[in-house]
Amino acid sequence: MSKELFEAMAQSVIQGDEEAAADLARQSLAQGIDPLVAINQGFVVGINQVGAQFSSGDMFLPELVAAGEAMKTAVAVLEPEMARQGTHRQILGKVVIGTVEGDIHDIGKTLVATMLSAGGFQVYDLGVDVPIQKFVEKAREVGADIVGLSALITTTMGRQKDVIEALDDMGLRPQVKVMVGGAPVTRQWAAEIGAEGYSEDAVGAVNVAKQLMGA
């Protein structure tokens, strides 16, 4: 009985079907299945399969993102019950992410956020045009392990450095690691401003984040 449900959960993620994923999550709650079991034996199995097929070139980015969204939706349905039971999903780390001040480019940052979330991180997405202080405050508030800074314009790249300096000033470093990305951002720039993580794309960003967590 549960086995079929778990398989359907995995399928909903593989299909990137948010509605089905949410439905199945609700069904599992109705059946009294431990949300953590539902996640780990159902949805995570799907996400792992999508990840493997993406790596082997049989699935593509839109499928990966849709799977991530379905996973996120399912977890959101299960979260209130986990909170009630006092359990929580094992997370790899907490990430505060956003596009820096003066920059409204959204998509790269959002992709990274989705991939991190699907990859087992707790993600706090602050959106675009995020003031320096907001990154710092949020990082302190949630006890972030990683702050992710996106910039797509040469004239906003400098804000990545400013955020790192502000984190320094507030004494949040080095326990908060910083990842940077965006079209004009290079590995050299990341090194120069003291960012520990850099990736050119969203899938790579998850690996970098895992490395930063020592996972």
**Is residue 56 near other proteins by the rule CB under 8 A?**
no
**Is residue 37 near other proteins by the rule CB under 8 A?**
no
**Is residue 133 near other proteins by the rule CB under 8 A?**
no
**Is residue 153 near other proteins by the rule CB under 8 A?**
yes
Region of 2-10, 23-31, 81-89, 152-160 interacting with other proteins (CB under 8 A): 152-160
Which residue, 19 or 192, has its beta carbon nearer to other proteins? Answer: 192
To the nearest whole angstrom, how small is the minimum distance from the Cβ of residue 189 to other proteins?
8
**Is residue 52 near other proteins by the rule CB under 8 A?**
no
**Is residue 58 near other proteins by the rule CB under 8 A?**
no
Region of 10-18, 41-49, 83-91, 148-156 interacting with other proteins (CB under 8 A): 148-156
**Is residue 201 near other proteins by the rule CB under 8 A?**
yes
Burial (0-12, 13-18, 19+ Cβ within 10 Å), 209: buried
Mark 49-78 as b/e (b = at least 16 C-beta within 10 Å). bbbebbeeeebeeebbbbbbbbbbbbbebb
**Is residue 48 near other proteins by the rule CB under 8 A?**
no
- Establish how many alpha carbons lie within 13 A of residue 183's alpha carbon, considering only the half-sphere containing its beta carbon: 9
Which of 183, 194, 207, 210 is the binder for other proteins (CB under 8 A)? 183
Whether 141 and 114 have beta carbons less than 8 Å apart is answered as no
Strands (E), the chain: 93-99, 121-125, 146-150, 177-181, 197-198
Burial (0-12, 13-18, 19+ Cβ within 10 Å), 214: exposed
| Position 165, amino acid | E
Q: How many CB atoms lie within 10 A of CB 93?
A: 19
- Can you give the binding site for other proteins, defined by CB under 8 A? 54, 57, 60-62, 102, 104-105, 107-108, 111, 153-155, 158, 183-184, 186, 188-189, 200-203
